[in-house]
Amino acid sequence: MTKVTLTVNGRAMSGECEDRTLLVHFIREKLGLTGTHVGCDTTQCGACVVHMDGHSVKSCSILAVQASGSTITTIEGLAGQGELHPVQAAFKEHHGLQCGFCTPGMVMTAVDLINREGGTLTEETVRAGLEGNICRCTGYHNIVKAILAADAEMATGRQAAE
């Protein structure tokens, strides 16, 4: 067993696991943060996306021991005190979820996309940005709509702050 230490959602957390343990299983089973989902375990579906050192990653594609020392944000750490992140709020408002299984991964991918390309997103670039995320309910139309709405709202917020 190897000790893994992470900063997760702003808090130092650690636990022991086997060297073969995937980061997604460490987050869910050792840290108890089950908002990050496991769909395929083989880097296909995107349900397990978290942010590692500020960038979205499929947490089933990394060993927990490889991630040790990094800063992780999960879906649980996205919202502010008592209010949803703008991307979460837009998913709610634009019906960007059906069963919700893909939603944490979709939201984490979308936030990274907006962080990188915010203000310039189009339907085409959002669809390209989501190519690693599968919605088995096929709710892509509203997911894309929600992300574009969140991008527009966040861009307005940035302009107001300038």
Q: Which residues, 6+ apart, have CB-to-CB distance to 114 below 8 Å?
A: 87, 121, 147, 150, 151, 154
In whole angstroms, give the CA distance from residue 80 to residue 162.
21
Minimum CB distance to ligand FES, residue 112 (Å) = 15
Options 81-89, 110-118, 123-131, 134-142: segment touching ligand FES (CB under 6 A)? 134-142
Options 6-14, 37-45, 63-71, 144-152: segment touching ligand FES (CB under 6 A)? 37-45
Residue closer to ligand FES by CB (options 15, 104) is 104
If one asks whether residue 101 binds ligand FES (CB under 6 A), the answer comes out as yes
Q: Which residues, 6+ apart, have CB-to-CB distance to 40 below 8 Å?
A: 47, 60
Q: Which of 13, 84, 89, 137 binds ligand FES (CB under 6 A)?
A: 137
Per DSSP, what are the bridge partners of residue 12? 7
Total binding residues toward ligand FES, as defined by CB under 6 A: 23
Helices (H), 118-139: 123-129
Residues that bind ligand FES (CB under 6 A): 38-41, 43-48, 58, 60, 97-103, 135-137, 139
